Structure 1
Amino acid sequence: MLNFKNIAIRRGSRQLFSGASFTIHKGQKIGLTGANGAGKSSLFALLRGELHADEGEFSLPPNLEIAHVAQETPALSCSAIDYVLDGDQALRRLQAQLAAAEQAHDGLKLAELHAALEHAGGYTAQARASRLLNGLGFTSEQEARPVSSFSGGWRMRLNLAQALMCRSDVLLLDEPTNHLDLDAVIYLQDWLVKYPGTLLLISHDRDFLDAITDHIVHIEQGKAEIYTGNYSDFERMRAEKLAQQQSSFEKQQREIAHIQSFIDRFKAKATKARQAQSRIKALERMEIIAQAHVDSPFGFAFPPPKRMPNPLLKIEEADIGYGDKVVVKNASLSISPGDRIGLLGPNGAGKSSLIKVLSGQMPPLAGKLQSAQDLNIGYFAQHQLELLRLDESPLWHLQQLDKQATEKDLRNFLGGFDFRGDKVNEPVGPFSGGEKARLVLATLVYQNPNLLLLDEPTNHLDLEMRHALSVALQEYQGALVVVSHDRHLLRSVTDQLLLVAGGRLQPFDGDLDDYKQWLAEQKKGDEAAAGADSANNVSRKDQRKQDAERRQRLKPLLDAVKAAEAAVEKFHQQQRDLEELLADPAIYAEQYKEQLKQLLSRKSQIDSALEQAEMDWLAAEENLQQAE
């Protein structure tokens, strides 16, 4: 149990929260929410022993294994999979002790350590690490690459995998989805649902929180309170609580009326497509929890675009990629006013490349790109945060867009993005990632685009800002194309899904729940689901023929997997037999010295053979998955 009794935490002269009293029990999954700077990360630092409470008492059981994601990754020369294996510190300790015992020729100790290693799952650790890396988007080839060869975002994925590899009692995750695509988010969600320990999770992804957490600790106005249930349950409880405050009543009613009017308008023109129905449900849910966001510091809207040519933008038979590498072939897409498109697809399939072509950031390798004369694109991508002038202020950035605007009008506009008072004149350099993202979005909204192209717009944004962005995008009258791992945003603002996969761009006939199922079927090698192509209709006879050909084609690979599995089991059995012999104290008598030497030599050979067999098994599995 983690016990918090009247805890108060300060940062300098500022008190983050006080009087926090609650208990977190073994196996609970806790979501930590609150505005940026409220004290969530400080609570994590308290758990890790990096800071002490200014008031109150915090206690936890002794010898708890607490895992968290490192924020820095040194440029190491070790392989990615070895770096992840370092997360299992118990395994590494046993391996070090084993090496020392071998060096000392301590046979009794060797036998004890080999038994302990097997009990600790040491012989399957490599396979566990490989599965983690695969789930987080790494290929088998990347597993062997040195850590130093990866970019910052991929190194953060390695840090996450290392934390998950630890057999922890308590796991602390601070925004783990920030550097992940939707596929990896879904994998991580499924992993955390099964995690047997106690989880404390800071996240601004409400679908992610809903699927995993059973309690929410919310920090606001100097208080940290615990709520039973997931994030949606917390929102409803908070909405009911705030609805009872008369001072907020009128604003709440305006917010409810605003969302309800949009639902009514949307229902009148929505098709029966599953995406549209999903969006209606998302909007209706937003009406229920409108009160929970009544005190949000954010409030902005996209003004109606001045001109709306039809179509706005069109690509025909376009090849998309870099240099000689084509990632999407023969893509055609026409974007009209009012279109609200979400792009789905595996990591690296070409979603961001497609957005870049649509935005004019890079040309298609082949085919046509046609833009309307009055097209006004608002393009958001993470690299644009790096284009901000760090020595200039938010006010300066808006003044560059509109020299005629008064300072008062620009200040009022920036206030909707929570840049107020002296903040509007402060240099951007020291701003957090979330503040920089809000400023880029503010400049985008100010330019009144008629086509929005958004590539992961919610990275670094907290829950309140994500909610405000969702509300603003619902009423936006232009066209929208968005790539996002935030499923709530996709459900709320899109009514058409396109799939970028297998080098093709095609409609996705389903909603996000169907997409999760599609991903699962992809991993199983189900070609019918992977195609997601309604035009691919074949007769039963042809289907049987294709299935037979597929089985014949895969038979050598399936046989290789079975042979590898058999080899692993054989060496495991031999290893167990030898460990049983080595566990007999009599074998260490002086008269059996030569036999002991032979047994230890044989044990070393079997250990090496088992390790190679496990690697062969993984390789055979990988070959089979690629062929499927």
Structure 2
Amino acid sequence: MSLIQVTNLTFAYDGSYDYIFEDVNFQIDTDWKLGFTGRNGRGKTTFLNLLLGKYEYSGHISANVSFEYFPFKVNNKGHNTIDIINDIVADYQHWELMRELTLLKVSEDVLYRSFDSLSNGEQTKVLLAALFLKENSFLLIDEPTNHLDMKARKLVSAYLKSKSGFILVSHDRAFLDNCVDHILSINKTNIDIQRGDFSDWWENKQRQDHYELAENEKLKKDIKRLSDSAKRTNDWSHEVEKTKNGTRNSGSKVDKGYIGHKAAKMMKRSKSIENRQQSALDEKSKLLRNMESSDDLKISQLAYHRNQLAELENVSIYYGEKVVCQNVSFTIEQGERIALSGQNGSGKSSIIKLLCGQDITYSGTFRKGSQLQISYVSQDTSHLQGNLTDFAKQNGIDESLFKAILRKLDFARVQFEKDISAFSGGQKKKVLIAKSLSQNVHLHIWDEPLNFIDVISRMQIEELLIQYAPTLLFVEHDAEFCHHVATKIIEL
């Protein structure tokens, strides 16, 4: 065991006035299985790059270990997988590699196939096996679950549970809960480390938020009461002071010394109330700084003239001679939120393409409502560019609603001035989801919408979908999201 000590860490990108980190202090035990969470754009990948020594920063990061980053960059994907592993790990025993591959349920024959012939899931598992061949290193694992189906996620999660000495960036709650023993969270104003899994951290956060909301309401009432009291005392003091130069009702001279003393006493009391009021204001200013909330939204969807929007009956899809899926049957009815589930390669994306009107070879019966309006969210965000105002105009959506959804998903107003191409992967996916939710359509179709999106935003999207119940068909490998959102699951 050794410690990674972070002291007074301060960092901002060149040309930026906004600090990503400012005077941050914490320490990490290198034996921990550390889950790393926080909103998109808060600096998770930046912190990993600081550990790797990629940027100049103020403060100190001291560690007695070397760092290894996942995913590895693979330049020669046409080479055999065994050669790719040899490039990554210089010194290992073959039995050690086979031990890791066996744990990940990867057969030995993949080593002698070209790396680019492997599925995304197989590539991820092979690279993870290579990562854990590196001894005496603290491992920085950045979003390994993207492109893994549910079965592969469970397998990789069980694999990581058997290991230690890593930081894991992931937004999949079930995945984190299964394989970490500490959570490092980047909040709005600080970085926090807690013992336990993600659910423990989230429960503690909600408890803290509820406590601070209650304290905030109590202090608001105290401040109003003290403010009213200070005003009354001030008014009394001025009224008493006025009588110093007058006479009593009986005609006798006033006791100026007594009145002055009484006025001074009232002024002292007023000052005491003012100090208590300021103290309450200071306490109030310390609250709610890490609350993750924003205004409620109203999202509407077009009503279709029939209850049934589409139907597939014994549909099989083909690419040339290859059968992608066989005898698929289901209907899409208004108000349903349908999850298409199945392993990678089972035909989920092909069914989405068929529903969206792309030229797909199929047999069986496929019916889709005439003039059905569909909003599609793809996996790909590489085409996004320009500013958000122009993007809203180009897509014919209400700019105010579009930006309100982005604000709810933790977009700072400064982001509205930036080019979308400079956004993080998660922020780009939020742009596509906000666009979809702003469109007047009958049906939303989302293909792996949550890749790169932070866990708190995932929960907010869940709440929106449950509250406004748009008709939705989606493919998503986040088990918790599917459990909460889906009204029907179609297993392929």
* TM-score, normalised by the number of residues in structure 2: 0.75
Alignment correspondent of 1:59: 62
1:397 matched to 2:401? The reply is: no
Greater mean alpha carbon deviation, residues 142-151 or residues 323-332 = 142-151
**8 Å CA contact 1:7, 1:54 repeated in 2:** yes
Once the two structures are TM-superposed, the CA of residue 347 in structure 1 deviates from its matched residue by 1.8
| Correspondence 1:179-194 to 2 at 5 A | 179-194=147-162
| Correspondence 1:541-580 to 2 at 5 A | none
| Correspondence 1:71-220 to 2 at 5 A | 71-75=72-76, 77-91=78-92, 122-128=93-99, 130-131=101-102, 134-135=105-106, 142-147=110-115, 158-195=126-163, 197-220=164-187
Instruction: Decide whether aligned partners of structure 1 residues 75 and 397 sit closer, same or farther in structure 2, where only a CA change above 3 A counts.
Output: same
Once the two structures are TM-superposed, the CA of residue 397 in structure 1 deviates from its matched residue by 2.3
Per-residue deviation, residues 501-553 of structure 1 (Å, max 9, x unmatched) = xxxxxxxxxxxxxxxxxxxxxxxxxxxxxxxxxxxxxxxxxxxxxxxxxxxxx
Distance in 1 separating the partners of 2:478 and 2:450? 7
Higher relative helix content: 1
Query: What is the letter of the counterpart of residue 312 of structure 2?
Result: I
Q: Which runs of 5+ in 1 are unaligned?
A: 92-121, 251-290, 501-628
Per-residue deviation, residues 554-599 of structure 1 (Å, max 9, x unmatched) = xxxxxxxxxxxxxxxxxxxxxxxxxxxxxxxxxxxxxxxxxxxxxx
Alignment correspondent of 1:445: 437
Query: What is the letter of the counterpart of residue 333 of structure 2?
Result: S
- Find the residue that maps to 2:99 and give its secondary structure: helix
1:2 matched to 2:3? The reply is: yes
Distance in 1 separating the partners of 2:101 and 2:211? 52
Alignment correspondent of 2:354: 357
Greater mean alpha carbon deviation, residues 359-368 or residues 161-170 = 161-170
Distance in 1 separating the partners of 2:407 and 2:62? 41
Alignment correspondent of 1:333: 330
**8 Å CA contact 1:455, 1:483 repeated in 2:** yes
Per-residue deviation, residues 299-344 of structure 1 (Å, max 9, x unmatched) = 6453143336221100112111312211212222112123232222
**8 Å CA contact 2:104, 2:159 repeated in 1:** no
Once the two structures are TM-superposed, the CA of residue 23 in structure 1 deviates from its matched residue by 3.3
Query: What is the letter of the counterpart of residue 176 of structure 1?
Result: P
- Find the residue that maps to 1:9 and give its secondary structure: strand
1:41 matched to 2:45? The reply is: yes
Once the two structures are TM-superposed, the CA of residue 353 in structure 1 deviates from its matched residue by 1.5
**8 Å CA contact 2:101, 2:126 repeated in 1:** no
Per-residue deviation, residues 160-201 of structure 1 (Å, max 9, x unmatched) = 443234345422111111232222211110100001x31211
- Find the residue that maps to 1:348 and give its secondary structure: coil
Distance in 1 separating the partners of 2:425 and 2:111? 29
Among 436, 449, 457, which residue is 1:465 paired with?
Answer: 457
Distance in 1 separating the partners of 2:10 and 2:195? 23
Alignment correspondent of 2:490: 498
Query: What is the letter of the counterpart of residue 29 of structure 1?
Result: K
**8 Å CA contact 2:77, 2:115 repeated in 1:** yes
Alignment correspondent of 1:271: none
Distance in 2 separating the partners of 1:344 and 1:248? 44
Query: What is the letter of the counterpart of residue 25 of structure 1?
Result: D
Aligned length: 418
Alignment correspondent of 2:29: 25
Per-residue deviation, residues 11-33 of structure 1 (Å, max 9, x unmatched) = 24543334444333342111112
**8 Å CA contact 2:311, 2:367 repeated in 1:** yes
**8 Å CA contact 2:161, 2:178 repeated in 1:** yes
**8 Å CA contact 1:298, 1:418 repeated in 2:** no
Per-residue deviation, residues 20-74 of structure 1 (Å, max 9, x unmatched) = 443333421111122233232233234334446512x43333xx35432145321
Per-residue deviation, residues 124-151 of structure 1 (Å, max 9, x unmatched) = 145236436755xxx7665423346679
Once superposed, what is the RMSD of the aligned Cα atoms?
3.2
Paired-residue identity, %: 28
Query: What is the letter of the counterpart of residue 114 of structure 2?
Result: P
Once the two structures are TM-superposed, the CA of residue 365 in structure 1 deviates from its matched residue by 1.5
Distance in 2 separating the partners of 1:371 and 1:172? 47
Once the two structures are TM-superposed, the CA of residue 7 in structure 1 deviates from its matched residue by 3.2
Per-residue deviation, residues 456-490 of structure 1 (Å, max 9, x unmatched) = 11002112221221111112433332221211111
Distance in 1 separating the partners of 2:351 and 2:82? 32
Alignment correspondent of 1:484: 476
**8 Å CA contact 1:217, 1:224 repeated in 2:** yes
Distance in 2 separating the partners of 1:24 and 1:429? 34
Instruction: Decide whether aligned partners of structure 1 residues 498 and 140 sit closer, same or farther in structure 2, where only a CA change above 3 A counts.
Output: farther
* TM-score, normalised by the number of residues in structure 1: 0.60
Distance in 2 separating the partners of 1:484 and 1:147? 25
